[in-house]
Amino acid sequence: MSPLRLTGSTSGYSQLDAPAVAGDQTFTLPGTGGTLDRLNRAGNVLQVVNATYSTAESKGSATYADTGLTASITPTSASSKVLVVVHHNGCGKVNNTFMGLKLLRGSTDIAKLDDTAGYTNTTTANRFGSVSISYLDSPATTSAVTYKTQFNADAATVFLQLNSSVSTITLYEIAA
């Protein structure tokens, strides 16, 4: 089979050669815009997974509980890193308390977003907006990995996703 050659408008060309294997091969280009780069060069983003959650949640004890925000990714290589970006929105508290938030891979704590979010040392209710984190993880697997967040309260009630605020978690697989 002859190679496919795309000639530039002024000079040079790009050439696509058929692989030296038996059977049909499909090569799919991006539909609009963007750059096609399937090389697993260090730092390349190999895939992106995004999830949102907007159901109001509340907690009134020091025991950690799931926030409802979760996402799963299956790394293409065991050497890949996963950049986890979390934005918890619609955060608030009543009375003199504060919120703790943490990030987990499966059931393992891997990072603390905050352990005193919203603390004011007053009994005034406070809507303090959002708590965020960017965390680079090394899950060392090609099996599905689930990331989630959990929260707790120091004493009184704390809230997430007040007024249907949207919280997000985005997972980026990064080639190592």
* 78-97 confidence digits (pLDDT tens): 999 999 999 999 998 888 88
Distance CA 97, CA 110 (A): 24
* 108-159 confidence digits (pLDDT tens): 999 998 887 777 877 777 788 888 999 999 999 999 999 999 999 988 899 9
**Which residue from 4, 21, 22 is spatially nearest to 13, judged by alpha carbons?**
4
Comparison of pLDDT for 97 and 75, the residue scoring more: 75
Residue 37 predicted with pLDDT over 80 = no
Q: Is the dihedral of CA 156, 89, 55, 149 positive or negative?
A: negative
The residue assigned the tokens 């996402």 is 71
Task: Take residue 39 and report the two structure tokens written for it.
Answer: 């090389």
pTM of the model: 0.76
**Which residue from 147, 76, 62 is spatially nearest to 108, judged by alpha carbons?**
147
**Is 45 exposed, middle or buried (CB count within 10 Å of its CB: 0-12, 13-18, 19+)?**
exposed
Question: Contact at 8 Å (CB) between 117 and 81?
Answer: no
Question: Contact at 8 Å (CB) between 63 and 152?
Answer: yes
Question: Contact at 8 Å (CB) between 90 and 56?
Answer: yes
Distance CA 108, CA 9 (A): 54
**Is 143 exposed, middle or buried (CB count within 10 Å of its CB: 0-12, 13-18, 19+)?**
exposed
Give, in words, the CATH class of 41-174. Answer: mainly beta
